Structure 1
Amino acid sequence: MELGLTIPLRRHLKMNSLPHGETPDRGACWDLHVITLRGRKSLLAVHCRSRYAFVLFGLSGAEWEALPATFLEGLRRSLGAAGVEPETAGEYLRRAGDIRLTRTHGRREVAFLNRAWEDVTALDHALDPARREQPLLDREVNAKPSRCAGYDGTGPARQRLARSLR
């Protein structure tokens, strides 16, 4: 699995340059970005094929330092909250393989990440400042019809992710 880190996220983590992604299957690729929500640094993760997105609100320094593990835990919880069976999520993670940190996965993917970010900020009312995981915000963002790099036309990201996990 490739995690493409945006330049602002690499700066936040004080990371030097990363390699370009090599996985041709965008189903195993996520782009990650640091965003500020209600004054707290938060993680926005966007699936490159489906534009499914989830937010981890107000991460601690230790959580940022352990970004791959933090991401995986957040992904599992987000998928569970979205109704994905644990066996399906586990099979997806097995097929996706070990995590590699890379640069983001292309202009289109970053453009759709930016659209997801706009949706997150527009749906700020759904943010629960007492929780790291944001199931209500994630559900609302992923229910909106949107475009993505991996499918033609518009549709809810949650439905496209379900197709990608099969």
Structure 2
Amino acid sequence: MEFGLTDKLCKKIKLDTLQRPEEQEAAFCWEVNFDIAFRKMIIFIVNASSRFAVIAYGISPGDLRKNLPGIAEGLIRQAMRDCIGIPETAIDAYFDAAGEAKLTKTHGKKAVGNMTRLMMDAPCWRVPVFTDIVYQDEMTDIANHEIFKDGPRDRDYRVVMEKMVDDLMRLGIISKEKRNMPRGASYAQLKQEVMKLQMGAEPSEDVAEYLRGGINESRWKHILTEDEAMELHNRLNELR
């Protein structure tokens, strides 16, 4: 697996020289860049093949310099699990197939252009940066629902996360039977389910299971008041 770092990021984390990319399989290559929000770094990690993206906030330059591959792997694992619903065994198989992580230069103009476009689009989403959590689940979810042109024909448009699943199928990491695997509940879905629960309605089965599975509490602070959170907690307990 290769992580292609931009010159801007290398300068920020004080990395002097990087080798040229060698990996031929674009699905195992990721581009990494950053921007600044509230005086801290917001990291963009984008797959060179599918454009599957992970967005994180508040990681220090020093931590990235010491362990960028480990940090990136953890974030990618979380996005694959929460955003698409990839089974843990398939995620392990993907990283095993990708091999040892290396830091390299970026993987060409197209891959960098895709990442740059994502970074330009992100401010237009009108989504807040949650400064008390690292993995930006709402921004990551929106990025992976983006539609892009993936072929010469007018109708060759794809959703980013579907392209990622197709790459995993092509590599033999997941089977065709898992093509329509359930994905994690999106941020918008969760907000809708909160409203349903507060009104006494039954939640959809997959989202209810996701809610019961536990969510970073800091995330709910941006959706619910303390009383609402307690009410939701009690309602979920009734459904167990």
Task: Say whether the fold is shared (TM-score over 0.5).
Answer: yes
2:124 is aligned with 1:158: no
Equivalent in the alignment of 2:136: 134
Q: Secondary structure at the match of 1:117?
A: helix
Contact 1:123 1:141 in 2 (8 A): no
Matches within 5 A, 1:80-119: 80-82=81-83, 83-119=85-121
Equivalent in the alignment of 2:17: 17
Task: Give 1:8's aligned amino acid.
Answer: K
Flag the structure with higher strand content. 1
* Distance change >3 Å, CA 79–CA 12, structure 1 → 2: same
Percentage of matched positions with identical amino acids: 21
Contact 2:127 2:138 in 1 (8 A): no
Q: Which has the higher contact order (CA 8 A, sep 6+)?
A: 1
TM-score, normalising length from structure 1? 0.91
CA–CA distance in structure 2, aligned partners of residues 111 and 85 of structure 1: 30
CA–CA distance in structure 2, aligned partners of residues 62 and 11 of structure 1: 12
Contact 1:56 1:134 in 2 (8 A): yes
Task: Give 1:3's aligned amino acid.
Answer: F
In the TM superposition, what whole-angstrom CA distance separates every residue of 1:31-64 from its partner, at most 9, and x where no partner exists?
Answer: 1002113332121100000011111111134431
2:77 is aligned with 1:70: no
* Distance change >3 Å, CA 81–CA 25, structure 1 → 2: same
Task: Give 1:17's aligned amino acid.
Answer: T
CA–CA distance in structure 1, aligned partners of residues 26 and 34 of structure 2: 21
Structure 1 runs of 4+ with >3 Å offset: none
CA–CA distance in structure 1, aligned partners of residues 133 and 158 of structure 2: 28
TM-score, normalising length from structure 2? 0.64
Rg larger in 1 or in 2?
Answer: 2
Q: Secondary structure at the match of 2:127?
A: helix
Q: Secondary structure at the match of 2:144?
A: helix
CA–CA distance in structure 2, aligned partners of residues 124 and 60 of structure 1: 24
In the TM superposition, what whole-angstrom CA distance separates every residue of 1:135-159 from its partner, at most 9, and x where no partner exists?
Answer: 1111111102124xxx424321111
Q: Secondary structure at the match of 2:93?
A: helix
Q: Secondary structure at the match of 1:125?
A: coil
Matches within 5 A, 1:51-70: 51-65=51-65, 66-70=67-71
Deviation larger for 102-111 or 79-88: 79-88
Contact 1:12 1:34 in 2 (8 A): no
In the TM superposition, what whole-angstrom CA distance separates every residue of 1:75-110 from its partner, at most 9, and x where no partner exists?
Answer: 111111111111111111110000011000000111
Give the deviation of 1:165 after TM superposition.
1.7
Segments of 5+ residues of structure 1 without an aligned counterpart are: none
